[in-house]
């Protein structure tokens, strides 16, 4: 695919007070233990000024195998939300292991006709990558109901909760660039440097697996990009192998910078173990002199900083800053592809 054939960036329309946000089960089922997380998410979204509704599949006890329903049933509900003009944003209830089953059933034309923010991470990062590849849609790699808005946020200090709530509300409603994301002492410079480029990423295993499907991001999408990724579970060796796949496929030769999320429950990365995650990353990069910012709040380890897929950012690893240089949402009446 040539660069001219790549879909242009497609920003969803900025939300207004009173707009309808739907919480939907796009992968995993909802268990009774996590019902309070969904209820708290409703509270958080309403506090941001939105109306909130739950999609029909988001019901305790509703399940099929390891998912909330069959791929066909999930796709039918998802497509209905994409086509419904009243629905202005979709928040995933949870991640899981079902999105691969319905990639070929997604109504991409509905996305192009009425782009809207879709929020989530983990398995939902697969949807962001695929929708960005096929339509240019800006994906909101961000917190969802379980455990995010309804769990991790409540365990964070009150000041951090307020900071995140204001950040998410601004991201969804503003047509101006947000600028620097709020940093924390956990951020680490693994390789210094400053670059600008579009954000691309998600959970690392979904990035790698997506590239093995017909819905893969064209390699040109990684040219000059700031690649962000995180991982949950598995082994340190798995992460190293995923990075090696990216090396062999040419992704690491194309990106301009890297942001690594805080890992969670990865065997072999315990304190005192060897190698560290930084050593794994730098080993895979070899002599590629690109800035790397590590241990950023992106993914499963706690409250997420939102990462809008496709938006141009500035990364300064030495100064430990990451800034959004463009808005994630478009003004009303201008929700079309942009240059």
Express each pLDDT in 3-36 by its tens digit.
Answer: 446 789 999 999 999 999 999 999 999 999 999 9
Answer for the pair 26, 124: CB distance below 8 angstroms, yes or no: yes
Say whether both 40 and 170 belong to one domain. Answer: yes
Q: Distances from the Cα of 99 to the Cαs of 93, 94, 195, in angstroms? A: 13, 11, 32
Report helix, strand or coil for 131: helix
Say whether both 31 and 163 belong to one domain. Answer: yes
259 in a structural domain: yes
- Residue 2 is predicted with a pLDDT of 43
pTM value is 0.95
Active site residue 141: no
Residue 336: pLDDT band (50, 70, 90) is low
- Residue 3 is predicted with a pLDDT of 45
- Residue 4 is predicted with a pLDDT of 44
Say whether both 156 and 197 belong to one domain. Answer: no
User: Distance (Å, rounded) from C-alpha 240 to C-alpha 280?
Assistant: 6
Q: Distances from the Cα of 336 to the Cαs of 7, 10, 52, 115, in angstroms? A: 11, 6, 25, 8
User: Distance (Å, rounded) from C-alpha 139 to C-alpha 307?
Assistant: 8
For residue 281, the domain's CATH number is 3.50.30.60
Express each pLDDT in 67-121 by its tens digit.
Answer: 999 999 999 999 999 999 999 999 999 999 999 999 999 999 999 999 999 999 9
Say whether both 220 and 261 belong to one domain. Answer: yes
- Residue 1 is predicted with a pLDDT of 44
Say whether both 237 and 156 belong to one domain. Answer: no
Handedness of CA 319, 222, 119, 243 (dihedral sign): negative
Catalytic residue among 77, 231, 300, 326: 300
Active site residue 230: yes
pLDDT over 80 at 337, yes or no: no
User: Distance (Å, rounded) from C-alpha 140 to C-alpha 301?
Assistant: 18
Q: By C-alpha distance, which of 143, 154, 121 is closest to 40? A: 154
Answer for the pair 150, 119: CB distance below 8 angstroms, yes or no: no
Instruction: Give the domain-ending residue among 175, 195, 229.
Output: 175
Phi-psi region of 49 (alpha: psi -120 to 50; beta: other; left: phi over 0): left
160 in a structural domain: yes
- Residue 339 is predicted with a pLDDT of 41
CA distance between the termini of the chain? 18
Domain that holds residue 77: 3-175
Residue 167: pLDDT band (50, 70, 90) is very high
339 in a structural domain: no
Say whether both 210 and 146 belong to one domain. Answer: no
Active site residue 300: yes
pLDDT over 60 at 313, yes or no: yes
Residues 279-302, mean pLDDT to the nearest whole number:
96
Say whether both 46 and 156 belong to one domain. Answer: yes
152 in a structural domain: yes
Say whether both 16 and 135 belong to one domain. Answer: yes
204 in a structural domain: yes
pLDDT over 90 at 155, yes or no: no
User: Distance (Å, rounded) from C-alpha 107 to C-alpha 103?
Assistant: 9
User: Distance (Å, rounded) from C-alpha 63 to C-alpha 27?
Assistant: 10
331 in a structural domain: no
Handedness of CA 144, 145, 150, 151 (dihedral sign): negative
337 in a structural domain: no
Residue 16: φ, ψ to 5°: -115, 160
Residue 44: φ, ψ to 5°: -65, -45
Q: By C-alpha distance, which of 83, 135, 133, 76 is closest to 101? A: 76
Say whether both 169 and 25 belong to one domain. Answer: yes
Name the helix (H) or strand (E) containing 82.
helix 71-83
Instruction: Give the domain-ending residue among 175, 209, 232.
Output: 175
334 in a structural domain: no
Say whether both 264 and 283 belong to one domain. Answer: yes
User: Distance (Å, rounded) from C-alpha 328 to C-alpha 339?
Assistant: 14
Say whether both 144 and 203 belong to one domain. Answer: no
Q: Please count the structural domains in the chain.
A: 2
Residue 18: φ, ψ to 5°: 90, -5
- Residue 87 is predicted with a pLDDT of 98
Token pair of 21 as six digits: 């946000």
For residue 130, the domain's CATH number is 3.40.50.10740
User: Distance (Å, rounded) from C-alpha 148 to C-alpha 212?
Assistant: 29
Express each pLDDT in 223-281 by its tens digit.
Answer: 999 999 999 999 999 999 999 999 999 999 999 999 999 999 999 998 888 899 999 99
Q: pLDDT: is 127 or 272 the higher one? A: 127
pLDDT over 80 at 334, yes or no: no
Express each pLDDT in 38-75 by its tens digit.
Answer: 999 999 999 999 999 999 999 999 999 999 999 999 99
Catalytic residue among 27, 77, 230, 326: 230
Token pair of 52 as six digits: 């909130």
Answer for the pair 88, 94: CB distance below 8 angstroms, yes or no: no
Say whether both 249 and 269 belong to one domain. Answer: yes
Instruction: Give the domain-ending residue among 175, 201, 228.
Output: 175
């Amino acid at each position: 695919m040539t660069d001219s054939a790549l879909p242009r960036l497609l920003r969803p329309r900025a939300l207004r007070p009173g707009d309808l946000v739907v919480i939907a089960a796009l992968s995993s089922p909802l268990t009774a233990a996590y019902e309070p997380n969904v209820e708290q998410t409703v509270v958080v979204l309403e506090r941001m000024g939105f109306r909130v509704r739950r999609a029909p599949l988001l019901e305790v006890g509703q399940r099929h195998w390891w998912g909330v329903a069959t791929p066909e049933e999930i796709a039918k509900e998802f497509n209905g939300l994409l086509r419904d003009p009243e629905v202005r944003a979709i928040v995933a209830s949870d991640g899981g292991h079902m999105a691969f089953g319905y990639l070929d059933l997604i109504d991409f034309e509905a996305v192009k006709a009425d782009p809207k923010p879709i929020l989530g991470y983990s398995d939902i990062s697969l949807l962001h990558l695929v929708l960005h590849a096929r339509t240019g849609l800006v994906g909101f790699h961000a917190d969802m109901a379980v455990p995010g808005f309804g769990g991790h946020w409540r365990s964070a200090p009150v000041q951090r909760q307020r900071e995140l709530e204001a950040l998410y509300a601004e991201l969804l409603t503003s047509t101006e660039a947000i600028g620097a994301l709020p940093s924390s002492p956990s951020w680490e410079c693994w390789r210094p440097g400053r670059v600008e480029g579009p954000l691309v990423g998600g959970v690392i295993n979904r990035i790698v697996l997506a590239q093995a499907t017909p819905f893969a991001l064209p390699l040109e999408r990684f040219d000059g990009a700031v690649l962000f990724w995180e991982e949950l579970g598995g082994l340190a060796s798995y992460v190293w192998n995923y990075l090696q796949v990216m090396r062999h496929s040419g992704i690491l030769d194309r990106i301009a910078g890297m942001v690594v999320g805080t890992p969670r429950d990865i065997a072999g990365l315990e304190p005192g173990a060897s190698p560290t995650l930084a050593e794994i990353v730098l080993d895979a990069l070899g002599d590629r002199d690109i800035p790397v910012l590590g241990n950023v709040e992106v993914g499963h380890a706690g409250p997420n900083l939102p990462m809008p897929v496709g938006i141009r950012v500035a990364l300064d690893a030495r100064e430990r800053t990451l800034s959004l240089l463009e808005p994630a949402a478009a003004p009303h009446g201008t929700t079309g592809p942009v240059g």
